Structure 1
Amino acid sequence: MPTLHIELFAGRTPEKKRELVEALTSETCRVLGCEPGAVDIILIDVERENWATGGKMWSES
């Protein structure tokens, strides 16, 4: 069973998260030839103060 771990900035609406998991599930099934019930997706909300890129905190951008 494929399990996808997705980290994203906190603040997305439940509707946007639903849209994302539907799209990811569909593509995963298409590429891997599995059933939707076999796909697990774990969304991890991360606050901007806990994420940095290129040595800079996103909360300071």
Structure 2
Amino acid sequence: MPIIQVQVLKGRSDEQIKGLIEDITEAAVTNLQVRPEQVRVVVTEIAETHWGAGGLTMKEIKREREVK
């Protein structure tokens, strides 16, 4: 039974998350030869202030992009 964990920034709609879960499940079924009901997908949403790159939070990075 595959358990697939995905982390995304907060702000996606329920429909987007559902679509992601469906697509990941389909990929697991195709590539791992398992049944859909065997696939578990865990989506964890991360706040922009708790995700960073290059010493900046994603909130800061987005703010910088808006200024440019």
- Higher share in helix: 2
Structure 1: which 4+ aligned runs deviate by more than 6 Å?
none
Q: Percent identity?
A: 25
Looking at structure 2, the residues matched to 35 and 21 of structure 1 have their Cα atoms a distance apart, in angstroms, of 14
Ranges in structure 2 where 5+ consecutive residues have no aligned partner:
62-68
Equivalence for 1:35: 35
**Could you tell me the TM-score, scaled by structure 1's length?**
0.95
Letter in 1 for 2:54: G
What is the Cα-based RMSD across aligned positions, in Å? 0.7
In the TM superposition, 1:11-50 aligns within 5 A as 11-50=11-50
Query: Aligned to 2:12, what secondary structure does the other structure show?
Result: coil
Looking at structure 2, the residues matched to 55 and 4 of structure 1 have their Cα atoms a distance apart, in angstroms, of 28
How many residues align? The count is: 61
Query: Aligned to 1:11, what secondary structure does the other structure show?
Result: coil
Give the number of the structure whose alpha-carbon radius of gyration is greater. Answer: 2
